[in-house]
Structure 1
């Protein structure tokens, strides 16, 4: 049974279809915190980061882009969870991130065409050769193998004690690429019609559910659109949401946009309000599943209104929680209703993302009072850290292959 919102809806419990009860309606949405140690394992700063969000009052937090293997990671700071991983390290992360009644969920990721070239050979549904992005087409064998690989990571997440998993089908990563007619030009059973383009996502969801059982939260993150001409558009997104209604999932997390080179990012938009609430209202008409929207929530009033008016059941917060990890507790007390966000003048491409990523590192190291410096310096530091981690990644996984 799904709880009905009340006048103070943000701080009422919510029951997912699988029976799991969340303490409130505020979720730390998935971000690529890039705090893995370079071998696919969590470091202490990452554990402390999720511990702080749990202390701060979120109902649940998502760890972004957890990979099933090392072949198609989005960054060398991603986590990798498979049979070769040190499960004890992941168990410790789950324990530290699930204090004070909070849940910690893993987002099942695969970057596909956007895999980090220094550590990967990018593969997508179709071969691409465009400025800033080249990839090979996935073989049919690799496509058919993916659901079982994702399911293994989901089962290990449950074994390690994490509270749930999210299948990532948004932001231009692999499953999102399959959904998009702009990037999926296959002519087999995984391309062409929308039903074919959503086939892999459907197979992953079913395999994950079979791996974790019926009483474990399984969610899906979906684009409302790619925000690219010729890409995945809102009309098709609504059809996918209607189809998801027939699958064994607990929550649809609605977002949008891609991280393809040169594409505009929803998270860098200048609009003052939430980006996807109006689309969520339309989605309500085609699904009975709980809905969450992630993107653009900046004030307590915006979050309250979205839930109280029934547009969404849960609110996904990312950058606000990078600024104030205790924001849910502050909002419950009526404090900090409109957090002040940093303003960047003419930022270099990738600079804002780099700033927020290194802000997460500060939070995990309890030194957020320090200045990060000029954006150009921040971007250089961010890229240098990725380069150093890439060396660690390549050496570690080369050794694994030799073992």
Structure 2
């Protein structure tokens, strides 16, 4: 029986009227379980089924692309008019078992699109170690809000319960927010008002397209953690500008996957990463707040919600270690032990968790966790194998 005194397991009514059954959401990750052709695989469908059965309120599928030429990885999903709708409907159905919801994260990798299958383009041209990209034309930028909206409508029509607009972690919309990525001289660059313009236009277009009763979340960096980049004071101004625009849940995270940068999720810190920023955000918005990153114990998650600092906790890697964690916490059965990695290479920890997700989706996980080096090799080789499948489906980058 779920303890009635637990703030984590109280329902939450979003501004659009949709009710989350509790305060735990599986935050978006690039699960890399698409079939290599942009469609859901059977393992991916099973993965979200298992998360739903584990007791969470909702899962968010990371990096669902509306354009196959700006993908983050060849394991991404691509939702267009040519997608395998039957598989997407199976995925939507699996994710709503046990009273859960399944939302799509609307993605566009922009400058960090995967070069073997994509055409990297960001707000501005860049040529720096590890990253080369062109600049989006004004016409291409102005077409983006309608493109995001079209993907959102397709997801709604196929049975998904909500969408999240991805404006964090160094992907396209967060690139527009960052003065490191965005040096445009037109109306989409320069001051913060110009740099946030595209984000606001995408939000308005998506909300108008899906209607007032469909959940629309937005993931925003508190900071991109790069010197000279997007900082907390700017993020608070973006939060204030988003207030009143129909966002049902503001998902606060941070960091970037810019080559060589340290991911916030790789931090060695012992607690949630962005709770203090959430406290600051409360002063400028009435939107429900979700914080993603660093929740490793039930006590920390409980405190964040019970204190009123956040409305929802976003869990990612914790739910890779055990997809049944919400049910475990509901019965006060203890916390997880997180693996420790000694001197991991760039991308190795992400690869390790991705391959663990594969094990869960294929119902073959064991207590013996994958070896880091073997996981990295499997992760890289799988992407290489998928590149040919992707190009066969979508054509050259």
Q: TM-score range by the shorter chain?
A: over 0.9
- Residue matched to 2:366: 369
Query: Deviations 1:34-90 (Å, cap 9, x if unpaired)?
Result: 000011000000000000000000000000000001010000000000111122211
Instruction: State the secondary structure of the residue aligned to 1:100.
Output: helix
Q: Separation in 1 of the partners of 2:6 and 2:366?
A: 32
Q: Separation in 2 of the partners of 1:197 and 1:305?
A: 35
Instruction: State the secondary structure of the residue aligned to 2:223.
Output: coil
Question: Following superposition of structure 1 onto structure 2, how do residues 276-315 of structure 1 map, counting pairs within 5 Å?
Answer: 276-315=274-313
2:201 pairs with 1:185: no
Q: Is the 8 A contact 1:7 1:308 kept in 2?
A: no
RMSD across aligned positions (CA)? 1.2
2:36 pairs with 1:38: yes
**Structure 1 unmatched ranges of 5 or more:** 1-5
1:382 aligned to which of 379, 382, 397:
379
- Residue matched to 2:92: 94
- Residue matched to 2:207: 209
1:56 aligned to which of 54, 57, 60:
54
Question: Following superposition of structure 1 onto structure 2, how do residues 74-89 of structure 1 map, counting pairs within 5 Å?
Answer: 74-89=72-87
Query: Deviations 1:183-212 (Å, cap 9, x if unpaired)?
Result: 100000000011110111111111111111
Q: Is the 8 A contact 2:102 2:161 kept in 1?
A: yes
Q: Separation in 2 of the partners of 1:172 and 1:7?
A: 39
**Structure 2 unmatched ranges of 5 or more:** none
Question: Following superposition of structure 1 onto structure 2, how do residues 135-150 of structure 1 map, counting pairs within 5 Å?
Answer: 135-150=133-148
Query: Deviations 1:102-160 (Å, cap 9, x if unpaired)?
Result: 00000000000000000011000000001000000001111011111111110010000
Q: Separation in 2 of the partners of 1:144 and 1:344?
A: 43
Q: Separation in 2 of the partners of 1:384 and 1:31?
A: 20
- Residue matched to 1:250: 248
Instruction: State the secondary structure of the residue aligned to 1:40.
Output: coil
- Residue matched to 2:357: 360
- Residue matched to 1:3: none
1:165 aligned to which of 163, 166, 176:
163
Kindly state the Cα deviation for residue 378 of structure 1 after the two structures are TM-superposed: 1.4
Q: Is the 8 A contact 2:352 2:370 kept in 1?
A: no
Kindly state the Cα deviation for residue 398 of structure 1 after the two structures are TM-superposed: 2.1
Q: Separation in 2 of the partners of 1:94 and 1:104?
A: 6
Q: Is the 8 A contact 1:57 1:100 kept in 2?
A: yes
Instruction: State the secondary structure of the residue aligned to 1:141.
Output: helix
Kindly report structure 1 stretches of 4+ aligned residues shifted beyond 2 Å.
Answer: 370-374
Q: Separation in 2 of the partners of 1:372 and 1:323?
A: 9
Question: Following superposition of structure 1 onto structure 2, how do residues 10-49 of structure 1 map, counting pairs within 5 Å?
Answer: 10-49=8-47
Q: Separation in 2 of the partners of 1:377 and 1:306?
A: 36
Q: Separation in 2 of the partners of 1:155 and 1:391?
A: 29
- Residue matched to 1:339: 336
TM-score by length of 1: 0.96
TM-score by length of 2: 0.98
Q: Is the 8 A contact 1:225 1:257 kept in 2?
A: yes
2:218 pairs with 1:220: yes
Q: Separation in 1 of the partners of 2:97 and 2:198?
A: 35
Query: Deviations 1:189-240 (Å, cap 9, x if unpaired)?
Result: 0000111101111111111111111000001000000100100000000000
